Chains A and B, each alone.
Chain A
Amino acid sequence: MDEARSDHVVAHDHGDIDRHVRAALLVFGALLVLTGFTVAAWTLHLPTGYAIALALLIAAVKGSLVACWFMHLLSERKFIYWVLALTAACFIPLLLIPVLTSSSGYRL
């Protein structure tokens, strides 16, 4: 029974899988280009603030591509979005607290 069910599932998804692979290859190209941009931006020796903002922006775009296409987050179930939303609600303040306390004059 298991084998029959598995074969049915596998056969049913072939078209989707091919589309997923094509998208993954395009994302692969985009990630390589963005890696090139990251290194090229570094060679420009921008002021520190701009360099950090640009590097993190490119990294965020790359990370989003990996999460959305490689990790299938574009088509996941609601439960997983809630898990990630809870993670983000903890993660973002964790990163912002040292930055915000620093800009308001605090030094630990």
Chain B
Amino acid sequence: MDIPYTVAARPDTGLNNGKIAIWLFLASEVMLFGALFASYVMLRVGAAEWPAGSTYLNVPLATLNTVVLISSSVTMVLAWASIAKGDFARFRLFMGITILCGLVFLVVKYFEYSAKFHHGYLPSTNTFLAIYFTLTGLHGLHVVGGMGLNAWLWGPGSSLWRSDRTHFTNRVENAGLFWHLVDLVWIFLFPVLYLL
């Protein structure tokens, strides 16, 4: 038996099941990161001293990563627009660039983390570094997850395009929503951790 409303909109919400599911998931993600942001606020206002982020962190590298993630959000929009217009080759090009941007972000993060460990800055060093590694580590895992999803849609998952174009386009849109949330979270992490 087929799962209903994978493509057609439900009469009660006007949305297909995939769209509803991804937004409910994104809401849970907002609460997950929200809890950690609240922890950050609580730790910061309760601390006798709080170091400036730039004392420990590399602002130019984080700025580069911000530009990389924003660029990847645009290429994700272009990937969705390409597949929505039926241009599979351009979809693969832009989705490939999006995955590549995710990889660049992680490589930059690897160099950042390596420098911290080299200087002996560990999560156990102080509260600031503990919350920094927690927030950026969780965000990094989301980048990895988003890249995995995008890579699946670029590769084996794209076989759906041959049998049901609208369903595949919806999947790309939903993957895009997740990727944009990852970008959105970083937009707040960057000033909060690195600049304040």
Q: How large is the interface on B (under 10, 10 to 19, 20 to 34, 35 or more residues)?
A: 35 or more
Q: How large is the interface on A (under 10, 10 to 19, 20 to 34, 35 or more residues)?
A: 35 or more
B177 touches A71 (CB 8 A): yes
Number of A-B contacts (CB under 8 A): 145
Residue of A with least CB distance to B35: A94
B74 touches A42 (CB 8 A): no
Residues A99 and B34 in contact in the complex (CB < 8 Å), given A21-B81, A35-B63: no
Residues A63 and B188 in contact in the complex (CB < 8 Å), given A21-B77, A39-B195: yes
> Is the CB of B31 closer than 8 A to any CB of chain A?
yes
| 11 additional contacts (CB under 8 A) given A59-B192, A63-B184 | A2-B167, A21-B78, A42-B191, A59-B190, A66-B184, A66-B187, A77-B13, A80-B19, A83-B24, A83-B27, A87-B31
Residue positions of B touching A, CB distance < 8 A: 7, 13-15, 19-20, 23-24, 27, 30-31, 34-35, 37-38, 41-42, 45-46, 54, 59, 63, 66-67, 70-71, 73-74, 76-78, 81, 84-86, 163-167, 169, 176-177, 180-181, 183-184, 187-188, 190-192, 195-196
Residue positions of A touching B, CB distance < 8 A: 2-3, 5-7, 9-11, 13-14, 17-18, 20-21, 24-25, 28, 31-32, 35, 38-39, 41-42, 48, 51-52, 55-56, 58-59, 62-63, 66-67, 70-71, 77-80, 83-84, 86-87, 90-91, 94-95, 97-99, 102, 107-108
